Structure 1
């Protein structure tokens, strides 16, 4: 994956387009949110094998297992490769953070962004557990 030369504009436009899009399993959940972002800035869809295959949390977990993964972290590592230090996080990176005892995938954009009930929610970078470069 290589970022488009205008990736910063694409990333900003992506965030604006998702601002009011609520969380929905199989449409705009945390993993598809980061995959959509990656596709926007690179042209490569890291979630192609997952799209359209689940509509619930249980369905998502079944799909993870079916494709040989045991966690969100494992899927992100498969899609984006090795992690980098949390201290090296940059705009447009994919991150894993914990919220209410659950691992959540998000996008670094000054703060961590992830889909919520009414659209994008922001979280402190201090919550980041893992970081993956995109492109």
Structure 2
């Protein structure tokens, strides 16, 4: 699995951040589709193309918005490489992928990887 994760990260690391195409949440959902064969963001694709539209869809919080779509995975407290989660960055909930070195995230500023507090973690 680590080989698959490393290939995914290498292939997508420089992909530009685009709301509704390759943003923090859809980038993680794309990993879920590749890794587990299920797209937790299927019902959100094509429904937004700006930050304001994304924030309107997740008005109740990112975690509470996506949690119902993560049922194909197990929610647990210890992250392993390849797991996905919602982490806190500067007071904002952000979707992330766990790597060997921390949580990888995609943002308007680019890709980053660090240890951040996780609000929820899913894997298999």
The yes-or-no answer on 1:113 pairing with 2:104 is yes
When normalised by structure 2's length, the TM-score is 0.84
- 1:103 corresponds, among 70, 73, 93, to 93
Unaligned runs of at least 5 residues, structure 1: 1-6
Unaligned runs of at least 5 residues, structure 2: none
When normalised by structure 1's length, the TM-score is 0.78
Deviations 1:43-73 (A, max 9, x none): 21111111111111211123346xxxx2210
The yes-or-no answer on 1:76 pairing with 2:66 is yes
The yes-or-no answer on 1:13 pairing with 2:7 is yes
Greater than 4 Å deviation, 4+ residue runs: none
Structure 1 residue 118 displacement after superposition? 5.2
Structure 1 residue 116 displacement after superposition? 2.7
- The aligned length equals 121
Structure 1 residue 76 displacement after superposition? 2.9
CA-based RMSD of the aligned residues comes to 1.9
* Separation in 1, partners of 2:108, 2:58: 23
Instruction: Give the structure with the higher percent helix.
Output: 1
